[in-house]
Amino acid sequence: MMTKCHACGSTEIVQDLRLFTSMARGSSVGFIPDKLYAILVPPKGQTGDSVTIWLHADICGSCGHAEIYTVHANDALEAQKKGYISKT
């Protein structure tokens, strides 16, 4: 997590925000928010469970600089070493 802004040097950081996206779900009335995430899947011809990596953000309260990260970086790295790729 960011403790000091890499853009302006401020320590006024809003940490560990969950990221959402609004996705229309067949309703003209409103939107249902979905969490922002990445999915890694096994390479073609291989079996295995997909790996979901939830994304978070830290935002500088002074200048607005934002950084996106995951607390599951090791899971993503291990999946990539096994040949997993980003789901398209």
Give the pLDDT confidence of 23-71 residue by residue, as tens digits: 555 555 555 556 788 889 998 888 889 999 999 999 999 999 999 999 8
Task: Report if residue 60 sits inside a domain.
Answer: yes
Task: Report if residue 36 sits inside a domain.
Answer: yes
The string over 58-87, giving b where at least 16 C-beta atoms fall within 10 Å of a residue's C-beta and e elsewhere, is bbbeeeebeeeeeebeeebeebeeeebeee
Task: Report if residue 8 sits inside a domain.
Answer: no
Report the alpha-carbon distance of residue 71 to residue 17 in Å, rounded.
Answer: 12
pLDDT confidence of residue 30? 52
pLDDT confidence of residue 26? 54
Higher pLDDT, 25 or 6: 6
Q: What is the pTM of this model?
A: 0.71
Q: Quote the number of domains for the chain.
A: 1
Residue range(s) defining the domain that contains residue 54: 13-86
Task: Report if residue 42 sits inside a domain.
Answer: yes
Report the alpha-carbon distance of residue 54 to residue 17 in Å, rounded.
Answer: 11
pLDDT tens digits along 11-20: 999 999 988 7
The answer to whether the beta carbons of residues 33 and 20 sit under 8 Å apart is yes
